[in-house]
Structure 1
Amino acid sequence: MALAKLDVVVLDCPDPRALAGFYAGVLGGEVEAQEDLSWVDLKVPGGPSLAFQSAPGFTPPQWPRADQDSQQFHLDLTVDDLDAAERGVLELGAKVLDAGDRSRSWRVYADPAGHPFCLCAS
């Protein structure tokens, strides 16, 4: 029996509205912002919500590093077409973190605030 239910994944970032917009472009959904824009929710269709919290002095995680400023966590996003999804996330402002073996079933990027995420073939 579960003790809890996952409600939302929260990402610290310097600009919650901008990062919510990036993930809305990737995942779809509806962006809902608080008046002061220190917290922004993204209601993702068919999945858990993402939230973005203002973090003054935010330092993006480093990938791959096992010591200080490690990635701490990352999102795996399942896609039907890795090449098409890659073009889309790059147009939205993602950066490639690992341009390694293109025959793998996954690729690693950073969102505009520097959080690592993977596109994974379905």
Structure 2
Amino acid sequence: MSLISLGVVALDCPDPQALAGFYAEVLGWRVEDNGDGDWVEVAGPDGRALAFQQVADYRPPQWPGQDVPQQLHLDFDVASAQIDEAERKVVALGAKLVQHDEGVRDFRVYLDPVGHPFCLCLK
């Protein structure tokens, strides 16, 4: 076992509660708010979590450009037979499709409601 393990990945955003709600719905996880409003987590199985922290004057990444670089993105695995259903779900929740797989890639790129890029990847 490693001495160090990954705890949580945190995303900067203007409204942690709202973005946590988006990802909780996407993943079927639950929102855990510590009450201060500046930091909210969504908890999943086996102790996995994503965190969202409030940042004043938040500027969304400008994907694919680098004027405001993405710095990180999230990949979510989806069964190939369910990719269209998964896309409908994330778009209904507020994501924006910015790069379709066009039948030649094994992923589709979206922006979450505050501009973070993420991918639905075929598994």
Percent identical pairs in the alignment equals 54
Compared CA separation, residues 118 and 62, structure 1 to 2 (3 A): same
Question: Which residue identity lines up with residue 63 of structure 1 in the other structure?
Answer: W
Does 1:76 pair with 2:87? Answer: no
Contact 1:9 1:48 in 2 (8 A): no
Aligned to 2:110: 109
Alpha-carbon distance in 2 for matches of 1:77, 1:51? 16
Q: How many residues of Structure 1 are paired with residues of Structure 2 in the alignment?
A: 121
Aligned-residue offset at 1:47: 6.2
Structure 2: tracts of 5 or more residues without a match: none
What is the TM-score normalised by the length of structure 2? 0.90
Q: TM-score, normalised by structure 1?
A: 0.91
Which runs of 5 or more residues in structure 1 are unaligned? none
Q: Deviations over 1:50-102 (max 9, x none)?
A: 0000011000011112x331111100000121101000000000011213524
Q: What is the DSSP-based 3-state SS (H/G/I as helix, E as strand, rest coil) of the residue aligned with 2:24? A: helix
Q: Which runs of 4+ in 1 moved over 6 A?
A: none
Deviations 1:22-70 (A, max 9, x none): 00111111111122211101101246210000011000011112x3311
